[in-house]
């Protein structure tokens, strides 16, 4: 049996190209890392979205709301077709900056992501968002 996951240096090299695309409200750039039939999910959309047009539409909304957040690769664990990405995010919300950690699966085909599922506790982020809205 041959394992087709990415080792740590390969995962880090991919993450160093992909994660910066999450910052700066460039959804088309971010979507270029995904296949036409990609699946994406996160805690806000646990059922996920499938297909490049649905992924791009979601990224347009998500990145427009969070243009200054920054995602950093913290480590990886090899898995089938890719890696489990361990990350840290810095997310400005109102007058606060939330730091959160999480993981996401990153599965690749021909160098592009066909499945990406993010998992993290977003309770502090949601609290900060509510506080920012109520102070307006």
Domains delineated in the chain: 8-134 (3.10.450.50)
At 100 the pLDDT is: 93
Q: What region, left, alpha or beta, does residue 117 occupy, with left being phi > 0 and alpha being psi -120 to 50 degrees?
A: beta
Q: Is the dihedral of CA 22, 24, 25, 30 positive or negative?
A: negative
At 94 the pLDDT is: 85
33-80 confidence digits (pLDDT tens): 999 999 999 999 999 999 999 999 999 999 999 999 999 999 999 999
At 1 the pLDDT is: 52
Point out which residues pair with 72 in neighbouring strands: 88
82-118 confidence digits (pLDDT tens): 999 999 999 999 888 999 999 999 999 999 999 999 9
CB 114 within 8 A of CB 82: no
CB 100 within 8 A of CB 129: no
Whole-prediction pTM value?
0.91
Tokens encoding 125 = 């982020």
At 129 the pLDDT is: 83
b/e 117-127 (16+ beta carbons within 10 angstroms → b): bbebebeebee
Tokens encoding 45 = 């959309």
At 12 the pLDDT is: 95
């Amino acid at each position: 049996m041959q394992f087709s996951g990415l080792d740590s240096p390969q995962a880090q090299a991919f993450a160093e190209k992909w994660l910066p695309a999450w910052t700066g409200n460039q959804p088309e750039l971010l979507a270029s890392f995904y296949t036409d039939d990609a699946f994406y999910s996160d805690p806000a959309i646990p059922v996920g979205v499938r297909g490049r047009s649905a992924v791009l539409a979601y990224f347009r909304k998500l990145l427009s709301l969070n243009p200054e957040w920054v995602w950093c690769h913290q480590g990886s664990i090899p898995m089938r077709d890719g890696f489990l990405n361990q990350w840290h995010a810095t997310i400005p919300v109102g007058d606060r900056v939330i730091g959160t950690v999480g993981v996401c699966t990153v599965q690749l085909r021909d160098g592009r992501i066909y499945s990406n599922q993010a998992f993290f506790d977003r309770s502090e982020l949601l609290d900060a968002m509510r506080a920012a809205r109520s102070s307006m």
